[in-house]
Amino acid sequence: MNNELYVNVAAFIDYENDLLDAKQYDEWLTLWQDDGHYVVPIDTSDENYSNRLNYAYDDADMRRMRVARLLSGESVSVESNGGTIRLTSRLRVNQADDVVEARCALLITESRLGVMKQYVANVEYKLVPNGDSFAIQQKVVKLINAEDYLRTISYIL
């Protein structure tokens, strides 16, 4: 394993998590390739995301609309969302040609209306080297309870 690549990918994912926890959504948008997709599938065993029902299957326009809704204060999830903390672990990194594939576990703790809730997911990234960092080509958040009833999760996972 390339240790430098591993450290750079871990730092990038930590940076993305920090942006999301700090609600710096406009800056988060700059991490993406224009043709990238943000996916939160309902069926985590099927990787044909474009032809399936998903909680999110966002291209660049949908990501911008999601961020605009979150920043407007009109989203129910923003009104009652006191905050989130994201933690990642067991990062795996693999270089495949011009794309870096990464997989990690994600734990999100959310405070909403004085109640703490946790979401756990496996996250898969396809990252394209971009100068001394990366651009996200695809991010797939596979919630372990994706087929269960989920409360409002319209903030970015």
Q: Look up the pTM and report it.
A: 0.91
Q: pLDDT tens for residues 44-71? A: 888 899 988 898 999 999 999 989 988 8
pLDDT given for residue 75 in this prediction:
58
pLDDT given for residue 59 in this prediction:
95
Three-state secondary-structure class, residue 76: helix
Distance CA 29, CA 154 (A): 16
* Contacts (Cβ under 8 Å, ≥6 apart) of 71: 25, 26
pLDDT given for residue 115 in this prediction:
85
Distance CA 66, CA 145 (A): 22
Range 18-25 average pLDDT: 94
C-alpha dist (Å) from residue 152 to 10, 21, 38, 86, 117: 28, 17, 17, 17, 11
Range 9-27 average pLDDT: 96
Is the pLDDT at 78 greater than 60? The verdict is: no
pLDDT given for residue 151 in this prediction:
65
pLDDT given for residue 27 in this prediction:
97
Q: pLDDT tens for residues 86-144? A: 999 999 999 988 999 999 999 999 888 888 888 999 999 999 999 899 999 999 999 99
